[in-house]
Structure 1
Amino acid sequence: MPPATGPAKNNRTLLIVLGAVGGVLVLLCGLCAIVGMFAGEEKPATLPATSRVAERPADTAGSPAPEPTTLAPTTLAPTTPAAPPSPVAAPTVTMPNLVGENAAVAEDKLRALGFTKVQFGSQDKNDTLVILPANWTVTKQSAKAGRKVSPDTLIVLTCTKEG
């Protein structure tokens, strides 16, 4: 197909420009909508002024039509969010004794009890980072065995590779 020249080329260029302008407008509208959602400002809602014609009673068929009534804009008070539910006592779990356990097994036991924050520390001078818990043994635990603890409490297991 030979390249377009003359009016055909101008039409193609015009379509490309119009398409680009339309795309930019759609993008700007979308950005405005996103910014509006996250602006966080609560503005009172305003109802627009409207015209309303009073209904004509059935027995006044020959009388002139009533004048339209314009209602003033009404401002609604902003709504307040519902009060948060009253706090419920967080469930607690009895901390098991994990000293002497394989660190991977100890972590599995804690996860099974519902603990969500488990970290490992090393007591060894040469191996300071616990990378593979299966190669380590727990020597200390941050929460004492038998103590009631919330499942979202950070539990630190101190481990050793020596031994």
Structure 2
Amino acid sequence: MAVGDGGLPFPPPGPQFTPNQPNPSARRWPPKAVIIAASVAAALLLLCCGAAAVNAVIGDNKKNAAPGVSAAAATTTAATAPTSKVPSPAASLSASASPSAIAVTMPNLVGKNAAVAQDELKRLGLTKVQLGSQDPGDSMVILAANWTVTKQSQPAESQVTTDTLIVLTCTKKA
């Protein structure tokens, strides 16, 4: 406060407020108790969700473990348990083909919509299908419905097993 004539203080220019009257331009913040309660509630929520996520990731291994054995020990024991059967060379050669693989005739997919081609391969049981782009500006096929097949890794009418990788080269529709 400035001191006026006669040593008496005078108020600065502007709106005057009495001590019992709240300042209308001052921000009103929530009480500290509300802020603390909200923080505690948020921390508990994060803790519960985090624990559920960890249990979902790690909890599956405990189902197969024997009582009193940790999941890591059960996994290690199962992986390193000795086998009494010695594989023959013929068995290792036939192990490359999956026992559930079935031979199917590869269709001609050139000129078809990539999404339609994927569906057709899925109906035949071919699950290992990758789409690639031949366009220099587009390096990845993101939405197959916007692409057309220009080449296929396996020739049409050839016999392929259902576990064969099929690569369809595509171009983006104009």
TM-score (norm 1): 0.51
String of CA shifts for 1:113-147, please: whole Å, max 9, x gaps.
00011100000111221000100000000000010
8 Å Cα contact 1:94/1:147 also seen in 2: yes
8 Å Cα contact 2:111/2:148 also seen in 1: yes
Identity %: 55
Structure 2 match to 1:160: 171
CA spacing shift, 1:117–1:31, aligned 2, 3 Å? same
Structure 2: runs of 5 or more not aligned = 1-66
Counterpart of 1:124 in structure 2: which amino acid? D
Q: Which runs of 4+ in 1 moved over 6 A?
A: none
Structure 2 match to 1:37: 74
Counterpart of 2:126 in structure 1: which amino acid? F
String of CA shifts for 1:67-95, please: whole Å, max 9, x gaps.
xxxxxxxxxxx9846x8xx8668420000
Deviation at 1:162, TM superposition (A): 4.7
String of CA shifts for 1:10-68, please: whole Å, max 9, x gaps.
xxxxxxxxxxxxxxxxxxxx7744344234265xxxxxxxxxxxxxxxxxxxxxxxxxx
CA spacing shift, 1:159–1:36, aligned 2, 3 Å? closer
CA spacing shift, 1:36–1:113, aligned 2, 3 Å? same
Written as runs of structure 1 = structure 2, the 5 A alignment for 1:40-59 is 40=77
Pairing partner for 2:143 from 132, 135, 147:
132
- Alpha-carbon separation, structure 2, partners of 1:97 and 1:37: 48
Structure 2 match to 1:19: none
Counterpart of 1:101 in structure 2: which amino acid? K
Counterpart of 2:116 in structure 1: which amino acid? V
- Alpha-carbon separation, structure 1, partners of 2:83 and 2:171: 58
CA spacing shift, 1:157–1:80, aligned 2, 3 Å? same
Structure 1: runs of 5 or more not aligned = 1-29, 43-77
TM-score (norm 2): 0.48
Structure 1 match to 2:119: 108
CA spacing shift, 1:146–1:36, aligned 2, 3 Å? same
